[in-house]
């Protein structure tokens, strides 16, 4: 598929980012916790908290990234998605990466877009479900970066695409493959695992949890398995606050009681990184073994799956705000 485009259109892919070497872990964590979308305290207090938390958590995080060769694989994977998406979009489109907490930052992408001579910009988050802590934060950061470098172009935002047809079909295909593998150990339960959020953020109106539910329902239906046993769960909790649930560990414990194999589907992650390669593949797999779960299959993230890339191209070519918002009866902050 190729887009018909006689102008120069920059497509900005938003993602979290990740440290590229052990020395980058602590500054990466500082950038994360110094984001007011993550910690809403006043600036000076947030800065102090970010310094304290990043220093305290850095040794633990470095141990996690040691399993991945000392750094996150997120950037090279996003670069591969860039190449695939540019090919799908066709002439006149060029993709740029704007990571939130580590290089390449939004200001680097904005400068590159200006130097390229783009005529318009499409902001495309690699977060299918909108949250103020991910897409919302990246959009705010982008506008600041664009203003600082004098990049003033017509700009469209793809705020969310939790039920985009290509995404759903690709995820369902991968999940069916995992389900077929797990069937050797019994009748599987599919667990759609997403990064969690503090409950108070959702209570303030963040649509993330509702959009995760939209994706999980769409994918489970697309799997085409009658009587499919499935559930949504949340991982990666940090800190003492109450988070949305159930947790992935709680769902593993329930599966152990029910003596069923599990198929773990990353429902909000479109690339492999520490939450999938370490948390799901190592930590939760070990927990599943401890609990005596008869089978544990982890489905790959979407990555450069052709259906997913074609879906991204569709939403980039036809950016429409609020694809899911209308169905939820409320709007993303970006809309």
What local confidence, expressed as pLDDT, does residue 1 receive? 46
Find the domain containing 35 and state its range: 22-66
Q: What does the pLDDT look like over 269-292, one tens digit per residue?
A: 999 999 999 999 999 999 999 999
**Token pair for 116:** 């390229």
* DSSP-derived 3-state class of residue 83: helix
Instruction: List the beta bridge partners of residue 266.
Output: 193
For the segment 168-186, the average pLDDT, to the nearest whole number, is 98
Residue 206 lies inside a defined structural domain of this protein: yes
Which residues 6+ apart lie within 8 Å of 53 measured at CB?
29, 33
Of 14, 34, 66, the residue at which a domain comes to its end is 66
Half-sphere exposure of 286 (CA within 13 A, CB side): 5
Beta pairing, strands 93-99 & 9-15 = parallel
What local confidence, expressed as pLDDT, does residue 36 receive? 94
Report residue 13: phi and psi, to 5°.
Answer: -90, 115
Residue 71 lies inside a defined structural domain of this protein: no
Report the run of H or E that residue 121 belongs to, with start and end: strand 120-125
Residues 59 and 182 in one domain: no
Peptide bond into 26 cis (omega under 30): no
For the segment 129-155, the average pLDDT, to the nearest whole number, is 97
Residue 315 lies inside a defined structural domain of this protein: no
What local confidence, expressed as pLDDT, does residue 319 receive? 85
107 within 8 A of 99, measured Cβ to Cβ: no
Residue 288 lies inside a defined structural domain of this protein: yes
Residue 95 pLDDT more than 60? yes
**Nearest partner of 131 among 6, 14, 10, 299, judged by Cα:** 14
Question: Which positions make up the binding site?
Answer: 195, 275
d(CA 143, CA 149): 10
Q: What does the pLDDT look like over 45-76, one tens digit per residue?
A: 999 999 999 999 999 999 999 999 999 999 99
d(CA 332, CA 317): 20
d(CA 58, CA 53): 8
Residue 153 lies inside a defined structural domain of this protein: no
Residue 213 lies inside a defined structural domain of this protein: yes
91 within 8 A of 5, measured Cβ to Cβ: yes
What local confidence, expressed as pLDDT, does residue 238 receive? 83
Residues 175 and 283 in one domain: yes
Q: How many domains does the chain fold into?
A: 2
d(CA 85, CA 327): 28
What local confidence, expressed as pLDDT, does residue 34 receive? 95
Give the domain CATH number at 261: 3.40.50.1400
Residue 322 lies inside a defined structural domain of this protein: no
DSSP designation for 227? T
d(CA 312, CA 81): 10
What local confidence, expressed as pLDDT, does residue 76 receive? 97
136 within 8 A of 333, measured Cβ to Cβ: yes
Q: What is the pTM of this model?
A: 0.93
Residues 170 and 59 in one domain: no
Question: Which positions make up the binding site for Fe(2+)?
Answer: 195, 275
Residue 335 pLDDT more than 90? no
DSSP designation for 149? T
Residue 285 lies inside a defined structural domain of this protein: yes
């Amino acid at each position: 598929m190729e887009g018909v485009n006689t102008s120069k259109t920059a497509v900005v892919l938003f993602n979290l980012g990740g440290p590229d070497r052990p020395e980058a872990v602590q500054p990466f964590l500082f950038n994360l916790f110094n984001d007011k979308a993550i910690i809403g305290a006043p600036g000076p207090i947030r800065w102090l908290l970010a310094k304290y938390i990043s220093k305290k958590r850095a040794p633990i995080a470095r141990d996690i990234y040691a399993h991945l060769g000392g750094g996150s694989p997120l950037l090279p994977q996003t670069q591969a998605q860039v190449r695939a998406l540019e090919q799908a979009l066709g002439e006149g489109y060029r993709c740029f990466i704007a990571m939130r907490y580590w290089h390449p930052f939004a200001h680097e992408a904005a400068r590159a877009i200006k130097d390229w001579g783009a005529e318009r910009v499409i902001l495309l988050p690699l977060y299918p479900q909108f949250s103020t802590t991910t897409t919302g934060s990246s959009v705010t950061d982008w506008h600041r970066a664009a203003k600082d470098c004098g990049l003033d172009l017509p700009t469209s935002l793809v705020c969310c695409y939790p039920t985009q047809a290509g995404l759903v079909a690709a995820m369902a295909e991968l999940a069916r493959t995992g389900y077929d593998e797990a069937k050797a150990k019994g009748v599987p339960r599919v667990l759609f695992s997403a990064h969690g959020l503090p409950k108070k953020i959702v209570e303030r109106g963040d649509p993330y949890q509702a959009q995760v539910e939209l994706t999980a329902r769409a994918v489970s239906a697309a799997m085409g398995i009658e009587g499919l046993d499935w559930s949504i769960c949340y991982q990666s909790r940090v800190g003492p606050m109450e988070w949305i649930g159930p947790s992935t560990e709680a769902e593993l414990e329930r599966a152990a009681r029910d003596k069923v194999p599990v198929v773990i589907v990353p429902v909000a992650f479109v690339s492999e990184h520490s939450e999938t390669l370490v948390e799901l593949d190592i930590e939760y797999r070990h927990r599943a073994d401890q609990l005596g779960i008869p089978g544990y299959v982890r489905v790959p993230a979407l990555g450069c799956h052709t259906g997913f890339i074609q879906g991204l191209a569709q939403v980039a070519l036809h950016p429409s705000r609020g694809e899911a918002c209308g169905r939820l009866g409320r709007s993303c902050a970006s809309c």
